[in-house]
A = this chain, B = another copy of it.
Amino acid sequence: MFKKIYPVLFVSLLFCVVIYAENREISSFNWHNPAKCSRNVINNRIAGTKGYTRLPAAMKKRVSTQVWNLSQNSAGLSISFKTNSNKIIVRYQVDKPYSMPHMPGTGVSGIDLYIKDLKNMWVFASGKYTFEDTIVYKFENIDQRQGLKNFKLYLPLYNTVKWLEIGVPDTCNFSFVVRNSKKPVIVLGTSIVQGACASRPGMAWTAIVERALDIHVINLGFSGFGQLQKSIINMIAETDAELFILDCMPNMLPTRIDTKITRKRIVNAVKRIRRVRKNTPVILTEHPGFTDQIINKKHNNLVYQINHVLNDAYVTLKKLGFKNIYVLSAKQINLDINSTVDGIHPSDYGMILYAEAYKKIIRNILYEDK
Contact = CB atoms under 8 A, between A and B. Distances in A.
Interface of A: 98-106, 110, 115, 117, 122-127, 129, 131, 141-143, 146, 148, 197, 199-200, 203, 208, 290-292, 294-299, 337-344, 347-352
A340 B106 CA distance: 12
A236 B334 CA distance: 41
Given A126-B291, A349-B349, 11 more contacts: A100-B104, A101-B105, A101-B106, A101-B110, A117-B295, A124-B343, A125-B295, A126-B292, A148-B295, A197-B199, A339-B348
Contacts of A350: 348
B203 A124 contact: no
A101 B98 contact: yes
A151 B6 CA distance: 62
Nearest to A353: B349
* Pairs A-B, 6 closest by C-beta atoms: A126-B343, A347-B348, A349-B349, A199-B341, A101-B105, A348-B349
Contact of A295 (B123, B131, B294, B344): B123
Contacts of A338: 124, 203, 208, 348, 352
Given A142-B295, A349-B349, A104 B99 contact: yes
A203 to B, nearest CB: 7
Contacts of A200: 341-342
Contact of A141 (B197, B297, B341): B297
27 contacts: A98-B101, A101-B106, A101-B131, A102-B105, A102-B106, A117-B295, A122-B337, A123-B292, A123-B337, A124-B338, A125-B292, A141-B296, A141-B299, A142-B296, A143-B295, A143-B296, A143-B297, A197-B199, A199-B199, A199-B341, A200-B341, A200-B342, A341-B348, A347-B348, A348-B349, A348-B350, A349-B349
